[in-house]
């Protein structure tokens, strides 16, 4: 029989006794008196409460005890005593046994619902998966079930359809809603050679892509797996409750017996009164609230994170975040875009860009890519070149329209006519930590192109958010001091540690750890040692690989502001755990003495029914408080408004 | 007089509770059956887990079959926090849980409320 069926039966059978209790002062008595109560309560005990005894007995035989032990002993004591009282014609309290059973079951019905509610984040994620895919087979696109898709399949996605698996677009363009996987609320534009993520929703275009990850390898599957692990992980703070839960129930039983003995033997209370106090003690104690405090909050917190594109590895990480004092960032790819870009063009923009692009077309230099990118966006025309050759250590040259064009670094200046005004601008640009490329035509410098790995749009805001939280920010980079300093100033970072060899990053983290706990934010592939050394490693997402091994937190979308959100979420969740534990402890520590009648002489006492009600709602309130984490506001401290 | 008897009986019950729940009691330790490159063991869930300690061979795929006999909602889930497993156990229904036995060690499992515990030893 299900818990809710047991609840309804016991509620309906209890109602006549409720009526009896309320209407007694008005002179109405339950027909049949104690006999009717006996029949109703016996039915409740046999149908609704029996599973409690069975479970209690089964655990007793194994030297264990649980919630059900307490409920069983409490209700059976009240029931058996009432039968004895009936025989000896004293006052009975059948209704205590009946009501306690009803209330406890009511609590369990709600609690079951809430617990399912807390754990359904993973289910929701897993259900995002598409059911079928339109795959190119024998020259035709046919719909096949998702399980039959293999790596290398060409898959067509029409507007509004779900993208079935991960892959790379081979044809067509579209905008894709990736919010369900990455948490990014704006649709993302996709064109040829861009990666698409399975389970995201195609917008307005039709495109074909080549599947490169299926089944368990897809990003969604990796996220689901990770969230599952995180939700069921153990937080160190739980060690306390683990210890308490083992001894909790026997201690409560001992306390209940002591309560009875003290009231009956030393305070001369009647057997009935002493028993009521003892039953109240047994019924009010609630070890479940303690046991539920951490896991439910962890479940909701990590599940909520997954929805925001923030994957937290486990409860240990969540707890570690709480003591972080310094956040260290890798520069390239974390604070900056990670790809050099043209920032300034001096001279006749069109001509300078056109000549530079024409010459660099054949070059594989990383700076060349930046120039060609800019030429493409500005739609600068390239011209045919002949006689292309490299000038050792300086740049490249070639013939354009019978003129000699050169592109290169500042060492070229010696060979060319270089106007003072341009020279001045070159120095200014270099002081801004930009790499300056000279463009020359017929022995004269005609213009400059400044290139820089620019900070991401959101970096400045992200750093400000962290500083508002009172955290120290540090940038760790292999770049030279001047470049690093310029970027740091632009985004507002406190300290810069430049000229660091990749292998030394972990040592610098260890140094910083001497003054407090450190979080390191990096890209996961190159920064693995630093991420592992730091107290909390935060990996910025790149592509569809979730590299959790080195990090404690993975940010699915490449947005630095998520560092602050991740910290905020972790802290909120951990605080909720602490709050839950606090209330669960306080509830038991206060509830038991009140139930035992310690405050009886100042008029404060609890009947077993009220104790049962309190018990039912203590675990319910803990679970509710955890579920409410879903509604808690996660926002930067900076914008907190006082109202 | 009757009060003294009640007092003695009460204290005796307290003593019994202390001995029964806190005293040292041996728990059964059972190794899984290995057959055809697979090991399997049945675990009954009734007021706790029996057996409570399960020994598995490293490297052999393992299946733990949990059957919940107990009606208590305390035991309606089984959680292996080290493996990210949180399995619902419908009553009187055999639920197979696959365990990855690549890393030797001792692992705890628990009920959904962390009240009942079991131990997994992979060696």
Whether residue A167 is predicted with pLDDT greater than 80 in this model: the reply is yes
Judge whether B56 lies within some domain: yes
**A555-577 confidence digits (pLDDT tens):** 888 888 999 999 999 999 999 99
For residue A217, what are its two tokens? 């390898």
Q: Does B10 touch chain A (CB under 8 A)?
A: yes
Q: What are the chain B neighbours of A61 within 8 Å (beta carbons)?
A: 47
Judge whether B61 lies within some domain: yes
* A575 Cα to chain B: minimum distance (Å): 20
Judge whether B21 lies within some domain: no
Q: What is the pLDDT of residue A208?
A: 93
Task: Report the percentage of chain A scoring pLDDT > 70.
Answer: 97
The total of structural domains in chain B comes to: 1
- Supply the residues of A annotated as catalytic: 330
**A421-430 confidence digits (pLDDT tens):** 888 888 888 8
Q: What are the chain B neighbours of A81 within 8 Å (beta carbons)?
A: none
Any idea what the CATH number is for the domain that residue B74 is in? 2.60.40.420
CB contact under 8 A, A295 and B112: yes
The ipTM (two decimal places) reads 0.84
* A288 Cα to chain B: minimum distance (Å): 7
Q: Does A59 touch chain B (CB under 8 A)?
A: yes
Q: Give the whole-angstrom CA distance, residue A277 versus residue A273.
A: 6
Find residues 200-229 of chain A whose CB sits inside 8 Å of chain B. Answer: 225, 228-229
Alpha-carbon torsion, ordered A635, A636, A637, A643, to 10 deg? -50
CB burial of residue A273 (10 Å; 0-12, 13-18, 19+)? middle
End-to-end CA distance of chain A: 51
Q: What is the mean pLDDT of chain B?
A: 86
Q: What is the pLDDT of residue A525?
A: 65
Domain that residue B72 falls in: 27-122
φ and ψ at residue A610, rounded to 5 degrees = -65, -40
Suggest the residue from B3, B15, B23, B71 to mutate for an interface test with chain A (most A CBs closer than 10 A). B71
**A581-628 confidence digits (pLDDT tens):** 998 888 888 889 999 988 888 888 888 888 888 887 888 888 889 889
Tell me how many degrees the CA angle A595-A294-B83 measures, rounded to the nearest 5: 135
**A280-300 confidence digits (pLDDT tens):** 998 888 777 888 888 889 889
**A481-518 confidence digits (pLDDT tens):** 877 888 888 899 999 998 888 778 889 999 999 999 99
Whether residue B108 is predicted with pLDDT greater than 60 in this model: the reply is yes
The residue in chain B having the minimum alpha-carbon distance to the alpha carbon of residue A66 is B115
Q: Check if the beta carbon of residue A151 is closer than 8 Å to that of residue A119.
A: no
Bridge-based pairing of strands B53-56 and B117-122 is parallel
Q: What is the pLDDT of residue A544?
A: 52
**A62-116 confidence digits (pLDDT tens):** 888 887 888 899 899 989 999 998 898 888 888 888 988 898 888 888 877 877 7
Listed range (A3-17, A235-249, A327-341) with the worst mean pLDDT? A235-249
CB burial readout A192-207, b (16+ within 10 A) else e: eeeebbbbbbbeebeb
* B100 Cα to chain A: minimum distance (Å): 14
Q: Confidence band (pLDDT; 50, 70, 90) for A642?
A: very low
Judge whether B2 lies within some domain: no
For residue A203, what are its two tokens? 């917008």
Judge whether B20 lies within some domain: no
Chain CA centroid to CA A285, Å = 33
Query: How are strands ordered across the β-sheet holding A385-391?
Result: A341-347, A444-452, A435-441, A403-408, A395-400, A385-391
Q: Does A19 touch chain B (CB under 8 A)?
A: no
**A371-429 confidence digits (pLDDT tens):** 888 888 888 888 888 888 877 777 888 888 888 888 888 777 777 888 888 888 888 88
Q: What is the pLDDT of residue A378?
A: 85
Q: What are the chain B neighbours of A54 within 8 Å (beta carbons)?
A: 70-71
Domains contained in chain A, CATH given: 3-122+231-296+576-630 (no CATH), 150-213 (2.70.150.10), 310-337+455-556 (3.40.50.1000), 341-452 (3.40.1110.10)
**A527-561 confidence digits (pLDDT tens):** 778 888 899 999 887 655 665 566 789 888 888 89
Per-residue pLDDT, averaged over A207-214, amounts to: 91
Judge whether B111 lies within some domain: yes
* A236 Cα to chain B: minimum distance (Å): 12
Q: What is the pLDDT of residue A524?
A: 63
């Amino acid at each position: 029989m299900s818990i809710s069926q047991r609840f309804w039966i016991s509620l309906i059978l209890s109602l006549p006794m409720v009526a009896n209790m309320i209407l007694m002062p008005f002179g109405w008595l339950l027909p049949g008196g104690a006999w009717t109560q006996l029949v109703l309560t016996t039915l409740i005990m046999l149908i609704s409460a029996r599973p409690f005894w069975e479970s209690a007995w089964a655990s007793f035989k194994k030297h264990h005890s649980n919630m059900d032990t307490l409920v069983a002993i409490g209700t059976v004591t009240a029931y058996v005593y009432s039968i004895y009282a009936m025989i000896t014609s004293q006052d009975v309290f059948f209704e205590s046994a009946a009501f306690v059973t009803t209330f406890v079951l009511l609590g369990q019905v709600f609690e079951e619902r809430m617990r399912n509610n807390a754990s359904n984040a993973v289910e929701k994620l897993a259900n995002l998966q598409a059911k079928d895919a339109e795959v190119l087979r024998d020259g035709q696109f046919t719909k096949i079930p998702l399980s039959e898709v293999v790596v290398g399949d060409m898959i067509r996605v029409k507007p509004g359809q779900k993208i079935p698996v991960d892959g790379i677009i081979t044809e067509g363009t579209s905008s894709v809603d990736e919010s369900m996987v990455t948490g990014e609320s704006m649709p993302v534009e996709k064109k040829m050679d861009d990666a698409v993520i399975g389970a995201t929703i195609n917008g307005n275009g039709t495109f074909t892509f080549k599947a490169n990850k299926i089944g368990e390898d897809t990003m969604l599957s990796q996220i689901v797996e990770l969230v599952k692990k995180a939700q069921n992980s153990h937080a160190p703070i739980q060690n306390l409750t683990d210890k308490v839960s083992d001894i909790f129930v026997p201690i409560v039983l001992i306390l209940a017996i002591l309560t009875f003995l003290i009231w009956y033997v030393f305070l001369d209370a009647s057997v009935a009164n002493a028993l009521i106090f003892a039953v109240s003690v047994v019924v009010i104690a609630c070890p479940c609230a303690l046991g539920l405090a951490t896991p439910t909050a962890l479940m909701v917190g990590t599940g909520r994170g997954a929805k925001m594109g923030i994957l937290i590895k486990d409860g240990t990480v969540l707890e570690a975040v709480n003591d972080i004092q310094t956040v260290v960032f890798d520069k390239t790819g974390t604070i900056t875009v990670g790809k050099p870009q043209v920032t300034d063009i001096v001279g006749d923009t069109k001509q300078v860009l056109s000549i530079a692009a024409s010459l660099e077309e054949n070059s594989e230099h990383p700076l060349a890519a930046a120039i060609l990118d800019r030429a493409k966006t500005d739609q600068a025309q390239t011209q045919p070149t002949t006689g292309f050759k490299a000038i050792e250590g300086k740049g490249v040259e070639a013939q354009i329209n019978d003129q000699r064009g050169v592109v290169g670094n500042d060492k070229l200046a010696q060979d060319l006519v270089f106007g003072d005004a341009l020279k001045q601008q070159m120095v200014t640009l270099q002081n801004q930590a930009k790499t300056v490329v000279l463009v020359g035509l017929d022995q004269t410098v005609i213009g400059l192109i400044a290139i820089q790995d620019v900070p991401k749009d959101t970096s400045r805001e992200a750093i400000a958010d962290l500083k508002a939280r009172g955290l120290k920010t540090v940038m760790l980079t292999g770049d030279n001091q001047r470049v690093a300093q310029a970027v740091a100033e632009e985004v507002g970072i406190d300290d810069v540690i430049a000229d660091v060899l990749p292998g030394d990053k972990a040592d610098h983290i260890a140094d910083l750890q001497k003054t407090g706990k450190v979080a390191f934010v990096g890209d996961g592939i190159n920064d693995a040692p630093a991420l592992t050394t730091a107290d909390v490693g935060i990996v910025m997402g790149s592509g569809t690989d979730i590299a959790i091994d080195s990090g404690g937190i993975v940010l699915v979308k490449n947005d630095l502001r998520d560092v602050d959100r991740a910290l905020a979420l972790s802290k909120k969740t951990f605080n909720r755990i602490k709050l839950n534990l606090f209330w669960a402890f306080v509830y038991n520590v206060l509830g038991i003495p009140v139930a035992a009648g310690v405050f009886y002489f100042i008029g404060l006492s609890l009947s077993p029914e009220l104790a049962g009600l309190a018990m039912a709602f203590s675990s319910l309130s803990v679970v509710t408080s955890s579920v409410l984490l879903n509604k808690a506001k996660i926002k930067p401290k900076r914008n907190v408004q006082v109202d | 007089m009757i009060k003294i008897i009640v007092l003695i009986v009460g204290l005796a019950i307290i003593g019994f509770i202390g001995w029964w729940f806190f005293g040292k009691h041996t728990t059964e330790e059972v190794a899984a059956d290995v057959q055809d490159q697979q090991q399997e063991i049945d675990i009954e869930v009734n007021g706790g887990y029996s057996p409570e300690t399960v020994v598995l061979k490293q490297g052999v795929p393992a299946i733990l079959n949990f059957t919940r006999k107990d009606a208590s909602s305390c035991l309606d889930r089984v959680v292996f926090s080290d493996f990210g497993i949180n399995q619902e156990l419908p009553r009187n229904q055999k639920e197979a849980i696959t365990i990855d036995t690549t890393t030797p060690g001792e692992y705890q499992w628990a009920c959904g409320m962390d009240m009942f515990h079991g131990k997994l030893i992979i060696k």
